[in-house]
Structure formats: structure tokens, C-alpha cells
Amino acid sequence: MTALLGQNYSPKTLRAYSDDLKQFMQWVGQNRVDWNNPRRFTRADVEGFMSYLAGQRMTGVTRVRKLAAIRKLFTFMDEHRIIAGNPANTVKGARREEKEPGILYREQYKALLYEASEHVRDYAIIMTFLQTGIRLSELANLRLEDVDFDNKVLTVRQGKGKKDRHIPLVDEEVKALRHYVRYRNTQLVLDDEICFLAKNGTSLNVSTVKYIVAKYVKKAGIRTKVSVHTLRHTFGAHKADKHMGLATLQEVMGHKKKETTLKYIHLARTNLRQEMSQTAL
């Protein structure tokens, strides 16, 4: 993991890779008596582990990530001449499932905001997700200095891919954030820099943010499965439906690949058109 840390991998990726490698070594230890001799590892060990994961009904996305972690491990050992060659290099990754992201229709996200409207911080959090499309970790790490009220711009620093990006803010979002900051200044503050704080004055952790969103989803009577990421998908689909340019949407959402952004064009053409049919007069 030290080598990956030096390559500027995010803490989240490092934790996931660490857990993946522990699981792999545990599985090998249960299936081979000489598992602690790295020179004995073969492609069959890696393929056996992948088959085991498939039997556990793990998604293709998860299996691809675990294979990537194993390849990193063997690459490191190969480069340091602990082993000769990388037995995981020729192992084919699982096919990734093509799942259409869920989104909220207009009446649903309006109901979500209505239910949170009596709580200044929670309303600002949900509004920020819906109006900027930022990720969960990005919101949790948002700092007060990242909100430029004068120019109506939110800066996401070192988002996914270690790249800063700037998101224009609509008036509704600016109003919600201003209201929250005024409220924040009257509360216990132990972390002067972080924007969204817990009741004890420290920064919010991601679990608490998930709980906040889930609470208002339930209050709003939304019965479909909704996560924080659903709010990000909602932002992307509605912006695409309003004909935001592909390059602009890609930049605002922080997508590395254009293909990822194109999915929101599809969502706008299917899900939102379906909503129009269902609510036709």
C-alpha cells in the first residue's frame, strides 16, 4: 500500500485495495499449504479466486476492482524481483454490469426538498447535491473557502482523479448556502474550515450524510431505492434534458471519460420522457 500511496491514490482506493488483497490472501491460505511462498503463485490461483467471487454473487464491477488490486500486488513483487513475471496479467476481468442509474423526477426531488426545508443544514446539503451533482466524499470535504458567493461558483478541490473543478451556482443554491452559513455561525464550531458540520461542531462523516438523505427520502414517501448517488444522477439527467452541452456536463460532473457523461443523455431521453407521458394532461 505504501507504493500506491506514493502514486497519489485516494485513501478510499487504498482502503478498498487493502481489503481486496486481504481477502485474496485469506482465500489462498485456505486452499494452499504453501500460500506464504509468493514464488509459488500461478495464474490458476488468481482465476480460482475470481471463480470463488463469482460464486459469492459479487458484481462484475467488484471483481474487476479486486483483480486490479491483485495485479498491482504482483506487479510490485515482479518489479522488486520477488517473483518472476505477473501471474495475474493474462487473467481476464469480469464483464461489468450495465445498470441504468436511477433518478428522481421533478415531483420527487421537490418533495425531498420540502421535507428538509425546516432544517437549514440538511436542506442546504440536499440542495447542493441536486444543484451541483457533486459526489458524497466531495460534499463531506467541502470547505467554506470553496464557496464563492460573489461569483456564484463552487470549487471542488482534488475531486475524483485528483483534479479541481469549478461549478456555477444557481440562485436557489446560493440562497440555501448563505442561509446555512449564517446558521452555522451561531452554532458550536470546532472545525473552522469544513463547510457542513455535525451537531458537535466537527466535520460530517459520509455515513451521517447518507443517513440524512435516507431520512428525507422516507419522509417524502419516495418508495424507489434512492442513495446519495441518485441525487448526482438526477442532476446529470436533468441538465442533459435542459440541453447542457456534453463537454460542459462532463467538466461540471468531473467525468474522466466522455462515455460516462453520455449515459445521462440516454437517461434524459428515456426516464424523463417517461415522466412526461405519465403526467400528461
For residue 94, tell me if it sits in a domain. no
For residue 52, tell me if it sits in a domain. yes
Report the CATH number that the domain containing residue 212 is assigned in CATH.
1.10.443.10
Q: Between vectors from CA 231 to CA 105 and to CA 252, what angle results, nearest 5°?
A: 110
Residues 70 and 115 in one domain: no
Residues 231 and 118 in one domain: yes
Residues 114 and 224 in one domain: yes
Residues 112 and 192 in one domain: yes
- How many other C-beta atoms are found inside a 10 Å radius of the C-beta of residue 144? 14
Q: If you average pLDDT over residues 160-187, what whole number do you get?
A: 92
For residue 58, tell me if it sits in a domain. yes
| Number of domains forming the structure of the chain | 2
pLDDT band at 25 (very low <50, low <70, confident <90, very high): very high
Residue 15 has what pLDDT? 85
Residues 237 and 116 in one domain: yes
For the chain, where are the alpha helices, taking DSSP H only? 2-6, 11-31, 43-55, 60-79, 106-116, 120-132, 136-140, 171-184, 206-219, 228-241, 246-253, 258-278
pTM for the full predicted model? 0.71
Residues 70 and 131 in one domain: no
Residues 145 and 274 in one domain: yes
What's at 104, amino acid-wise? Answer: L
Q: Does residue 269 surpass a pLDDT of 80?
A: no
The contacts of residue 172 (CB under 8 Å, 6+ apart) are 127, 131
Residues 62 and 192 in one domain: no
CA distance 144 to 181: 9
Q: Between vectors from CA 147 to CA 238 and to CA 242, what angle results, nearest 5°?
A: 15
pLDDT tens digit sequence for 44-85: 999 999 999 999 988 888 999 999 999 999 999 999 889 988
Domain carrying residue 188 = 106-278
